[in-house]
């Protein structure tokens, strides 16, 4: 039986957004330095000792991060809450074959505020 493990890669981007109809300050245009953590799962390759190389994982996710970086997220995602940014990234991952299985995405809008999407058990 092959051993399995979970591997995560963290990236960041700067972007603005606003939440239409929100009854508070977030209804106004504002910006964040967003942190994204992508978690995948797979068998540990007996030769490389890895589930996936961190460089490969970064290369998969980086084009999507670049699309968000220094943009107004409302131009890309209809209601750009942290939850919907996580789902947008999930849909990008699921839209094409990938070397490993996606099991989680964690998004921080601020150092003390995050959302976590996890694959259903």
**CA 7 – CA 37 distance, rounded (Å):** 10
Is 70 marked active-site?
yes
Is 71 marked active-site?
no
> Catalytic pick from 26, 72, 114, 115?
26
> Catalytic pick from 30, 45, 53, 91?
30
> Catalytic pick from 35, 41, 62, 69?
69
DSSP secondary structure of 102-116: EEEEEEEEETTEEEE
Is 114 marked active-site?
no
Q: Which residue has the tokens 């999507």?
A: 64
> Catalytic pick from 70, 75, 83, 91?
70
Neighbours of 101 (CB within 10 A): 14
Q: Which residues are catalytic?
A: 17, 26, 30, 32, 69-70, 109
């Amino acid at each position: 039986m092959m051993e399995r493990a979970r591997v995560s890669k963290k990236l960041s981007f700067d972007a603005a957004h606003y939440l239409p109809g929100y009854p508070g300050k977030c209804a106004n245009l504002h910006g964040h330095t967003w942190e994204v953590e992508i978690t995948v799962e797979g068998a540990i390759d007996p030769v490389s000792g890895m589930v996936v190389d961190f460089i490969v994982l970064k290369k998969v996710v980086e084009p999507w991060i670049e699309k968000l970086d220094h943009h107004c997220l409302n131009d890309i995602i209809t209601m750009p809450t942290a939850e919907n940014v996580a789902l947008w990234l999930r849909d990008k991952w699921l839209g094409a074959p990938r070397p490993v299985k996606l099991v989680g995405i964690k998004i921080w809008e601020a150092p003390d505020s995050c959302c976590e999407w996890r694959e259903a058990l």
